Amino acid sequence: MHPCSCDTFVALPPSTEGQRIIFGKNSDRPCDEVQEVLYFPAADYEPGAKVECTYIQIEQVAHTYAIVLSRPAWLWGAEMGANEHQVCLGNEAVWGRESPDGKEALLGMDLVRLALERADTAEKCVDVLAELLEKYGQGGACLEEQCDFTYNNSFLMSDRKEAWVMETSGKYWAAERIEGGYRNISNEYNITTKIDREHPDLRKYAQRKNWWNGKSQFNFAAVYSYKNTSRIEASGSRYCEGKKLLQKSHGHITAQTMMDILRDKDSGVNMEGMFMTTGSMVSVVLVDPALPGVHYFTATPDPERCVFKPFVFVENMRVQLKETASPTYGPEDPVKKKPRFQSKPDRKHSLFAKHEVAVAIIETHKERGTRITHGLRELECERMKQMEEILYCGVEQPETLLDLFPTSTVQNVALSA
């Protein structure tokens, strides 16, 4: 049985070339769903302020960090993203012995955004997520339609020095620190006996449910999964295939390596079909805090036919990413009106619409399609070369980077026409 959505990866020294952390994720969602890329500046809030998430309202914090997100256009949260402190985060759907009860709460994607807004390290993401799960829970429809498709979540987050995996079942969770090498997560629990942090009642709850006898070594995946952990390592699973792709480049993993992994269709990482890869992200973060991070996003489906466009955080940014921002419908949005999802409005942003045209040309006009594909790859290579200079030398003129992502997107649109 193949997992049915998403893969997230991280590589740290000594698996990477140079003193870099490389983060990557494919967001696998319904094939007709639009994914947008948006930037939100840092903000301050008055005491008692609230924030409206996808389904519920929760308490706002005094300060939120600047973030860049890739998200399904109909919801508030995000599939993946990064913040001004170079924390990167993505989530996965996981299923185990217990599933959310369908009650509207925080989506896993809401939790991704909230953690990026509130945590300046990967470990602090664990703290934020744990607090939110305890206080508000997780649940609600995860598709833009009336359905029972809901799930628990696992998270992979990284910063300049380490990464963490956090896997959840309701409000219960386990977390594992990754200080070097590489790690990937798909749609299975894969924290086993190395548990660095956990919910205080994680084991007691398992005992009360008769999942664990309290005497044998506690293995989170074995206890909370449907079956034991042999399923995770089964040949043919995307988790296993993703792990092999990382292992193949161990010691030499770069941003290009991660992009190639996310484009790999033979492994199933680049999904096709009714559920497909609708957005992709690759981040390069230097261990040296004096140097910037570069975050690449596609904002369109199938990374094999997309350009990874760079974004760099610059102090006091107020840029709008218009070409990858979907139309908004305010309080009249069918997601907000109850009963929800009575209709599905057009959420295509400018780049998405042009991408659809380009894909049609690539599939039906071989010569012209080849020219388009070649032009897109040239743009990507050119931008990556420019970003390497920034990664090595730092940002000498921040104002030159304010329109980096928008300009790359406009070029992407032009090449797709």
Active site residues: 6
Phi/psi at 106 (nearest 5 deg)?
Answer: -85, 130
SS (H, E, C) the chain: CCCCCCEEEEEECCCECCCEEEEEEEEEEECCCCEEEEEECCEECCCCCEEECCCCEEECCCEECCEEEEEECCCCCCCEEEECCCCEEEEEEECCCCCCCCCCCECHHHHHHHHHHHCCCHHHHHHHHHHHHHHHCECCCCCCCCCCCCCEEEEEEECCCCEEEEEEECCEEEEEEECCEEEEECCCCCCCCCCCEECCCHHHHHHHCCCCCCCCCCCHHHHHCCCCHHHCCCCCCHHHHHHHHHHHCCCCECHHHHHHHHCCCCCCCCCCCCEEEEEEEEEEEECCCCCCEEEEECCCCCHHHCCCEEECCCCCCCCCCHHHCCCCCHHHCCCCCCCCCCCCCCCCCHHHHHHHHHHHHHHHCHHHHHHHHHHHHHHHHHHHHHHHHHHHHCCCCHHHHCCHHHHHHHHHHHHHC
Give the whole-angstrom CA distance, residue 237 versus residue 7.
Answer: 11
With b meaning 16 or more CB within 10 Å and e meaning fewer, what string describes 4-16?
bbbbbbbbbbebb
**109 in Cβ contact with 141 (< 8 Å):** no
